[in-house]
Every structure is written in C-alpha cells, then in structure tokens.
Amino acid sequence: MGAVRVLVARQDNLGDVLLAGPAVRAVAARAEETVLLCGPRGRAAADLLPGPDRVIEWCAPWIDPDRVPVDADDVAAITRRLRGFDRALILTSFHQSPLPLALLLRLAGTPWIGGISEDYPGSLLDLRHRPDGDIPEAARMTALATEAGFPPVDDGRLRVREPLPDVSALTGTEPYVVVHPGTSVPARAWPPHRNAEAVRLLAESGRRVIVTGHRREKELTAEVAGVDALDLGGRTGLAELAAVLAGADAVVAGNTGPAHLAAAVGTPVVSLFAPTVPAKRWAPYAVPTVLLGDQDAPCRDTRATVCPVPGHPCLTSVQASEVVRAVEEVVR
C-alpha cells in the first residue's frame, strides 16, 4: 500500500489510548514506521502500547476538557512536526470530530487521511468510515484500521509492552484482589464508604486486598484500605500499576483508565459502571467482567461528569456484598 510512515492519533485519556492499542498494532504490523499522536492525559498509556516506534504529545483544544488556549505559534509548531507522513488514521470517540486534526494534517501535507466522521468532511478525509451499530470502542477503532488497509494481525485484545516491572516488593507474593476506588470524574465513582465496606467484606471472606490509586487520591485510598487492606495509593507509576493489576485475581474498579489497564493485562474486572456512557462501548474489553450498576438510570447516555440525579442512585444502589459475590464469580 506504500504506507511507509503512518501517524495514528488518539488524543484523550489513558483508557482511550489503551483501547486504541489493537488498531495501533494492526498499523504497526504493515508500516515501516508508526507514530502515535496523543495528548498529555494519555501519554503514560501511549508509552505502554506495543507497536508505536515513537510518540508525539500535543494537547488538542478540541479534545482536552480543560480550557486550552489556541495559540497560532503552537498550532504552527505541531503542524511542522506532523510533516512527512504517508498516511494518517485519526481515532476518535463517537462524540469527537477528526476534522480539526485532519485540517492540520492537510496543512502538513499528508496525502491520505482516514477517520470516523458524522459531519460532512469535505476533502479533509480520504476515508470516511461509518461504523456498524453500537460496538465496543476498541472494535470500532480496529474497524477503521481494517477499512484503511490495516486488518488485525492478532486476537485484537488490549495489550501493554512487556516485560512489566517486578512489583513483588510492593505486593508480596500471596494472592490478592485489587480495589481501585478513584475515577477521572465524580459521576463514575462508587462512594468511598461502599468501597471501604467491600474491602472489609473481601478480607472477611479470606481475600487479601490491595487498594490502588493516583498520588492525588492518597486520602481516598487510605480511607478505603483502612486496616483491612494494603494501601498502594500514590506508590506506582502506570507501568507498576499494570504489573500490580496483572498479578491480581480480580480488579474492582469504576469506568476509568485502570479498568482498561486491567483488561490490557488480562485480569478479570468487577466493573462499577455508571451508565452516563454506554457499557456496550466502554466496559472492560475482552476479559471476564461482571457489570454492576443500574444501566437504565436517569443519567443514562448523558456523558455527565457530575451526577445529575440526587443521590447518585445508579451506583449507590450497588451493595458491597454484590461486589464480593461478583469477585468470586469472575475469579471462578
């Protein structure tokens, strides 16, 4: 196909970049050089993906949820960095547009660009892929790559680079379950007291429990771990967290990046899933999963970051005892 140098873009969060992994590997299997364009929120995941020869990081104002100033010099600089690619695939979620980046790539001289676009793309896209139905996000991106001439070369599961670091000094050597209480937005969070109760019940059932979280979540992880669990809040980078999750019998998490990281290392997930986005698109991909939470709650498909329903009923309705039963189910 003459695709010597290919740019693949996925510019949002950790989980989104991990879900792009199968499509990235498909491209990398056929291109002489594969470069991944990501944003700062997804950079740590981009560095873990098998396939890319290198990574370009740039914060896109049309993707990042914070107010990102549009600076002409910055746009000109990234346009220069995007020169020299033979093809580009722009991977996006259903509510994002590939067209702003496609315009920059045209300015950079990219001769062929593919993306999924609900909006009329004019001459910005050479391939305007139209997905079939409501499918998992990873499969949606892989379908774009396939139509672009990069079909899967493996089983299409999520993966990370190996070997992962040895974390036995952190985790110990006895079997354990991970509880990850943090989420990127409040609307996806199971209440801390419920997480803490689940930790206590898991410990009472004979499970050793490890609580994980970002360094900004250390107060939360300490509260959830209490005296019944090992608190690793703030003690792991993403590669170390991947290794901790890889060693777990199961992971309990909301709809957040570490749930997808667990899937990428093949660990079963008990998913406390708020229906603000569709589970059929965003649930942990291709690993044993038990989905908990009212998927027909009033917040369904709102993409809310803060729960719009008093009491956050879609997740507060989930009892800690249900999580314990779900852990036993996925471990079996």
Q: What is the pLDDT of residue 132?
A: 80
Same domain, 182 and 316: yes
Does one domain contain both 181 and 305?
yes
Q: Among 255, 24, 18, which residue's Cα sits nearest to residue 148?
A: 24
pTM value surpassing 0.75: yes
Residues 175 and 134 in one domain: no
The residue out of 117, 147, 177 marking a domain boundary is 147
In contact, 9 and 88? CB cutoff 8 Å: yes
- Is residue 284 included in any domain, yes or no? yes
What's 149's DSSP letter?
Answer: T
| Structural domain includes residue 159 | no
Residue 215: predicted pLDDT: 95
Residue 174 lies in a domain: yes
Whether residues 174 and 71 share a domain: the answer is: no
Q: How far apart are CA 178 and CA 185, in angstroms?
A: 20
Structure tokens at 210: 């490890």
The angle at the Cα of 71, spanning 15 to 86, to the nearest 5 degrees, equals: 60
**What span, in angstroms and rounded, lies between the C-alpha atoms of 17 and 37?**
10
Residue 186 lies in a domain: yes
Find the helix or strand (DSSP H, E) in which 107 lies.
helix 99-107
Q: Output the pLDDT for position 233.
A: 98
194 and 315 belong to one structural domain: yes
Q: Is residue 108 one of the residues assigned to a domain?
A: yes
Residues 110 and 173 in one domain: no
Quickly count: other Cβ atoms within 10 Å of residue 43's Cβ: 17
Q: Does 154 reside within a domain? A: no
What angle do the packed helices 72-81 and 99-107 form, to 10 degrees? 70
Q: How high is the mean pLDDT in each 10-residue block of the chain (332 residues)?
A: 85 97 98 98 98 97 90 97 98 94 98 96 96 90 97 96 97 98 95 98 98 97 98 98 98 98 98 96 97 95 92 96 98 92
Place of tokens 């989980």: 15
Quickly count: other Cβ atoms within 10 Å of residue 124's Cβ.
Answer: 21
pLDDT score, position 95: 87
Integer CA distances (angstroms), 11 to 23, 41, 78, 110, 289, in order: 14, 8, 13, 18, 27
Residue 325 belongs to a domain: yes
| Residue 133 shares a structural domain with residue 180 | no
Strand partners, 34: 6
> Is residue 134 domain-shared with residue 83, that is, in the same domain?
yes
Longest CA–CA span in the chain (Å) reads 62
- 314 and 229, same structural domain? yes
Per-residue confidence (pLDDT) for residue 42, from 0 to 100: 97
**Residue 33 CA to its chain's centroid (Å):** 24
- Euclidean distance between CA atoms 249 and 58, whole angstroms: 36
Q: What total number of domains does the chain contain?
A: 2
Q: Which CATH number is 308's domain given?
A: 3.40.50.2000
Find all residues with CB under 8 Å of 108, minimum gap 6, and list them. Answer: 79, 80, 82, 83, 84, 85
Residue 2: the pLDDT is 56
Q: How many CB atoms lie within 10 A of CB 107?
A: 14
Range of the domain at 268: 168-331
Residue type, 246: A
Q: Are residues 68 and 180 in the same domain?
A: no
For residue 194, being part of any structural domain is answered with: yes
Same domain for 172 and 142?
Answer: no
Predicted pLDDT of residue 131: 86
Residues 34 and 88 in one domain: yes
